[in-house]
Amino acid sequence: MNSSDRWLDHLPMDGRARQLLLAADRDRPEPNTADRGWQALTVSLGIASASAVASGSAAASIATGPSITSTISVALVAKSVAIGFTLGVGMIGSSAVATHLYEKNASPSGSAVAIVRLPAPSPRRVSVKRDDAEIEAPSIEPRDASIPNQGALIRQENTHQMAELSRVPSVNTTGSKKESLANQARELAEIKRLLDAGAALEAKNRLQTDVARRRLLSLAEDRDALLVEALVKTQRFVEARREAHYFFDRYPTSSYREKIRRMVETE
Amino acid sequence: LNFESLYRSHYDFVWRTLRRLGVCDRNVEDACQIVFLNAYRRLPQFEGRSSLKTWLCGISLKVASDYRRSASVRREKLVEPPPSEVPFSAEQQQQVEQRERLEEVDAILAQLPIEQRTVLVLHELEQLTGEEIATIEGIPLGTVRSRLRLAREAFLLLATERSLSAGKKAAGGHR
């Protein structure tokens, strides 16, 4: 059974099976796909850790070449948004956060709920300091609206309120202990963007800093859910399980519960 | 060989393997990322007992398996885009035909048991040897052979059935 002896070659020339196998044989990724992927990979791994890992045993000859200084393209960032299957789990999307925010702030009056699409955030550079390198990531563009689990579809009663939250250009990451809910929401959205852009380590650090400083208190549940996601994405599975355990204790009826359970169980 | 070379020389292989093992088009890039991310992290444990291609293939199979199992995928229902009214050029027509064939391949492969599907994809499309597949799957060579035989029979049967069914539909349409 050797690889050069192909069944394909023995099939009738005009047979459907042969045509189909040939089509599959010719199937290739689009030209720039590998480049985009490589950019994302260098960001995800980071040059420092990359060098350390590559120095091990049988892989000693496999060194790393990439420079960490790279710019994540908008398309790439968008690609990362819906890694619904990353590490075999569904991810907590920014839409979920937005929905959750809404639900926390919505008035209890029974007025009609409209489905609206958030306007695309204006392109913005997010600088992520990592050792001596800087990664620049534009903000995320929503994906194709025709796909139901993409983009930021949120339920909202007042479109202006939520649109305003997504448009504010800067985030105050230091300072006042008592921040407005809008500021907290912006901060959380920015961390989520970092996470989706592949800068999971940076997102994790910021979330942990926020936990330590007791910030984002109004959105602690969302923040803690994101923290578990960030830990999973940075492959800190033991810590992720521990955080998930705390999360379940703290928020026994959380809507994130099931997602988090799947996330940590898969690992 | 550095990691970038490893990545670039095997990217197409990983991409195709994931696609044919059930990862849908819009998620395949992300799945590739997971494969190479895992490969990178596991590199220190790679003992060189198999080829890098075989090793990457094993990781790809696991990622594809996780993907198929994920609840979001099981719930997901992809909606066909509406047919375009714009007339196609010859090149576009070819692309459409290629796409349709790939969809058909995926539909047929999806009907095979995953064990047969894996062996068929790895041997017939990725041209891995029986021994390599046996190593990746952790099964005897004889089992690889029997799975391959069954997979070929099933693939042929399903392709023929679909061809006949398409022929009948076309004939019905002309009446």
Q: Which residues of B touch A142 (CB under 8 A)?
A: none
Per-residue model confidence as pLDDT tens digits over A178-202: 456 677 777 888 888 888 888 888 8
Place of tokens 């810590």: A239
Q: In terms of residues, how long is chain A?
A: 267
For the beta carbon of residue A262, count every other beta carbon within 10 angstroms: 16
Per-residue model confidence as pLDDT tens digits over B22-60: 998 888 998 999 999 999 888 888 888 888 999 999 999
Interface check for B152 against chain A (CB to CB < 8 A): the answer is yes
Beta bridge partner(s), residue B49: none
For B159, the closest chain A residue by CA position comes to A17
Residue spans of alpha helices (H) in A65-198: 74-81, 94-105, 159-167, 181-196
A17 → closest Cβ in B19, B32, B156? B156
Give yes or no for a contact between A259 and A89, defined as CB atoms under 8 angstroms apart.
yes
DSSP A63: B
Q: Do A34 and B3 touch (CB under 8 A)?
A: no
State both tokens at A28: 């290739």
A80 → closest Cβ in B30, B47, B152? B30
Cβ-count burial of A161 within 10 angstroms (0-12 exposed, 13-18 middle, 19+ buried)?
middle
A37 → closest Cβ in B33, B67, B163? B33
Interface check for B108 against chain A (CB to CB < 8 A): the answer is yes
Angstrom distance (rounded) from CA A216 to CA A212: 11
Q: What pLDDT was estimated at residue B153? A: 95
Portion 29-88 of B in contact with A at CB < 8 A: 29-34, 36-37, 40-41, 43-48, 63, 66-67, 69-73, 76, 78-79, 81
Interface check for B127 against chain A (CB to CB < 8 A): the answer is yes
Angstrom distance (rounded) from CA B149 to CA B152: 5
**Which pLDDT band holds residue A4 (cuts at 50, 70, 90)?**
low
Average pLDDT over residues B156-170: 84
State both tokens at A11: 């099939």
Query: Which percentage of chain A shows pLDDT scores above 70?
Result: 43
Q: Do B33 and A29 touch (CB under 8 A)?
A: no
B129 → closest Cβ in A3, A57, A146? A3
**pLDDT above 60 for A261:** yes
Average pLDDT over residues A200-226: 77
DSSP A150: S
DSSP B171: H
ipTM reported for the complex, 2 dp:
0.83
Q: Do B3 and A90 touch (CB under 8 A)?
A: no
A85 → closest Cβ in B11, B31, B78? B31
Q: What pLDDT was estimated at residue A110? A: 37
Angstrom distance (rounded) from CA A120 to CA A166: 8
The helix/strand count (H/E) of chain A reads as: 12, 4
More reliable by pLDDT, A159 or B45: B45
**pLDDT above 80 for A176:** no
- Cα separations (Å) of B49 from A93, B76, B117, B175? 40, 39, 25, 61
Q: Do B66 and A88 touch (CB under 8 A)?
A: yes
How many Å is the maximal CA-CA distance in chain A?
74
Interface check for B165 against chain A (CB to CB < 8 A): the answer is no
Per-residue model confidence as pLDDT tens digits over B78-134: 555 555 555 567 777 888 888 889 999 999 999 999 999 999 999 999 999 999 999
Residues with Cβ within 8 Å of A83's Cβ and at least 6 positions away in sequence, in order, are A91, A196, B27, B30, B33, B34
Q: Do B159 and A2 touch (CB under 8 A)?
A: no
Angstrom distance (rounded) from CA A218 to CA A223: 9
How many Å is the maximal CA-CA distance in chain B?
65
B55: closest CA among B151, B143, B128? B128
For B26, the closest chain A residue by CA position comes to A79
For A44, the closest chain B residue by CA position comes to B37
Q: Do A56 and B125 touch (CB under 8 A)?
A: no
More reliable by pLDDT, A83 or B162: B162
Q: Give the minimum alpha-carbon distance from A56 to chain B in angstroms, rounded to a whole number.
A: 4
β-pairing verdict for A114-117 and A126-130:
unpaired
Query: Which percentage of chain A shows pLDDT scores above 90?
Result: 1
Helix axes B52-69, B28-42, angle to 10 degrees: 130
Interface test with A, best of B30, B54, B94, B112 (most A CBs within 10 A): B30
* The residue type at B168: K
Q: What pLDDT was estimated at residue A126? A: 40
Give the dihedral of Cα atoms B69, B71, B75, B80; nearest 10 deg.
Answer: -60
A34 → closest Cβ in B3, B8, B63? B8
A58 → closest Cβ in B27, B46, B67? B46
State both tokens at A242: 């521990």
Place of tokens 């592949």: A198
For B151, the closest chain A residue by CA position comes to A7
Q: What pLDDT was estimated at residue B124? A: 92
Average pLDDT over residues A100-125: 38
**Which pLDDT band holds residue B173 (cuts at 50, 70, 90)?**
low
Q: What pLDDT was estimated at residue A69? A: 31
Q: Is B23 left (phi over 0), alpha (psi -120 to 50) or beta?
A: beta
Q: Which residues of A touch B43 (CB under 8 A)?
A: 53-54, 56, 59, 62
Give the dihedral of Cα atoms B39, B42, B47, B49; nearest 10 deg.
Answer: -40
